[in-house]
Structure 1
Amino acid sequence: MVTLTPPRLSGLARGGLAGVAGAGIGAAAQFGVVVLVVRGAGQEVAGAFFAATALCLMAAGILRLDAGSGLIYFIARSRPFGYRCTSGYVRAALVPVGALSLAAGATALSVSPDPTVLVLAAALPVLVCADVVVAASRGFGAMRPTVLLDGVLQPVGQLLLVSAVVLAGAESVPLLAAAWALPSLPVLLLSALWLRRRLPRGPYLPGTAHDLWRYTWPRSMAAAIQAVFQRLDIVIVAVLAGPAEAAVYTAATRFKVVGQLVNQGLTQAVQPRLVRALAEGDLARARELYQSTTMWLTLLTWPLWLCYAALAPWLLGLFGDGYASGVPVALVLAATMMLATACGMVDVVLTAAGHTGPSLAVLAAAIAVTLTLDALLIPACGASGAALGWAGGMLVKNLLPLWLIHRRYGLRPFGVHSRAALRTWRAR
């Protein structure tokens, strides 16, 4: 029987638990923002605010070109060589990403006179670059910048500033948007300072940008699709069913951020290790990482989803009158996320192995399914139709790559390492 080596597991467990801790704080803060806005500003203002920030996050997801994942891949692979040339990769990633986000923000500023658009357009380059720089720190195997800055500082700062706006009685979408965007600035500054201190000084070698973007361009397209996939449903509900229905849908689905952030916390810890294992051809180590993290995800999130399904009427009542209609959305969400969690980090495994093209195809299929179901169901069913469309896309997004990694590498989400992870979990 294959057993886990305690030192290797403990390092992954510490990183994973740190990521989950930061994710938990971030999820609680984001949930608090939603409660404050919907209760303090009303459904119309809340729906407009959620739609605007969803559009901003979609734009940021497209403009960052998934450069952060590319940096993690190349920085993690350069560890045996003392992280040489990593400063060149960082420059090759940040220059085009920064230029594109500045151009997009300037275009929005020049085209739209809407105050909310002006606020979010000004914040867009900061949001994009902060995400890339924080991601680069994980390539060095460090979780502290991600946990403290991305997991704590940004969401808690958003909660405090949005609270100040709501308590001041300023029911203004531009002010709420400014409060939501401002914490990304200290995140960018502090993460850039951390990274600068650790980047080795060295020349910019020819071919660095070519190597980075040859790997990353399929992920750039996939990240754009993923950004749309995650938040397009809110915008579509606002367009097809109105801002009030969008507020109900956002409230009912906001709890999914808990599971997503737990998944993100573990992914941030395991991704560099998976890259190294697959680059070295260590399939046994990759299987160990995949099955262990799948078990941890299941143990951490399934109780949450079961509780959410059972307590949905009460939890949605926290948002105020009129939100109980989101209970069917909550039930669809809980069932879908439980199934997705049981598949494990399938897309992370696929991209860590270098298969960015198939990952892109999977995401394109998922969003096509979502858009088709949304167009058919939202006009008749409102928020519940959007939930079913999202669920259909999620099934494609998880089951298809699960089949691919099983076919190519014989990997399964559960196995002997799942039992070992369960024993480790109980021991802790």
Structure 2
Amino acid sequence: MRTQVCIIGGGPSGLLLSQLLHLAGIDSVVLERRTRDYVLGRIRAGVLESGTVDLLRKAKVGDRMDRQGIVDDGIVVGGETHGFRIDIKALTGKSMMVWGQTEITQDLYDARDAMGGTVIHEAEAVKPHGLDSDAPYVTYHKDGTEHRIDCDWIAGCDGFHGVSRQSIPRTVLKEYERIYPFGWLGVLSETPPVTHEILYASHSRGFALASLRNENLSRYYVQVPQGEPVENWSDDRFWDEFKARIPGDLADKLVTGPTIEKSIAPLRSYAAEPMRWGRLFLVGDAAHIVPPTGAKGLNLAASDVHYLFEALKAHYLDHDDAGIEGYAQKAAARVWQAMRFSWWFTTVMHRFPDQSGFDRRMQESEIRLLETSKTAQAAMAELYVGAPY
């Protein structure tokens, strides 16, 4: 098989890149290790920056989002005793959109199906070859047979554990990482949201977050120790702990019920450089991981897709390789800006095991500054809503 761009990874970033390329008349093939049902069954983030929203519209997969998504103009930050609102729209002129990753992926699958896009699922033993040559190719196994795809470029959209980043020589690859000593226990419940704007709550018992998927589907989180087994958390224990960590006026309104999904995600900050080596580009989680505090993960993947799509479009349509040559530097600059924001917000809002009284007072002072200073709010809002592409 021959294509112009071989995309390794059929999550939202790989599908979005394939969709944009198709609309520009550039051929691609997507290889995905899992089944379609598995990809669609993953529960992930659902808060989109304005740039991501615009990119989905550009890809012609924004109609359902525009009809059913929830526009989010602000956030609520909770301290030990009360919460306060930061008006993101008033401070930046931009809004966020609450629209789940599962819904985005479904819309992208529907679009690729309608346009006859090639997405190969259950592709095992995927391996890129010839990355430092002018004739790269990818091999994979399916149904007991090895297949080969010859291409011009390879986009590694296969996540943190994928093969793409591992294909860059260790003498070239540089990695930066911080592991946080806690995780997020998240539940999905068919209950009305306690607030229609995302709540970030810092409490002496630990961090908590409230978000929504729709008017009767809520996503809630509490900070738990690193390595905590999810089996330790019954529904009753979760609700008691969540209620204790959020401002009292919201706790009084909280509607609880059975959870339909429960999992624990570890937190890390991670970045790999360079994001391009030879004919390989790294996109999304293949190159960087941020804590979910501030909802930057999916949005960073979208900005990577934007930069790579524009680079490939200029290469094929205008015979201009400036975007190809500048992709790694341009994408990484935005990554590190978001990395700094997520690290800062995580550090301010969470309890750390070795935290002193002084450390806690500093956190409280940061939150108090956010509450009382419009300048601090404006700086935070600018980063929260996302840097322009």
Tell me, yes or no, whether TM beats 0.5: no
Q: Which has the higher strand share?
A: 2
For CA contacts below 8 A with separation 6 or more, give which structure has more relative contact order. Answer: 1
Instruction: Give the structure-1-normalised TM-score.
Output: 0.28
Q: Which has the higher helix share?
A: 1
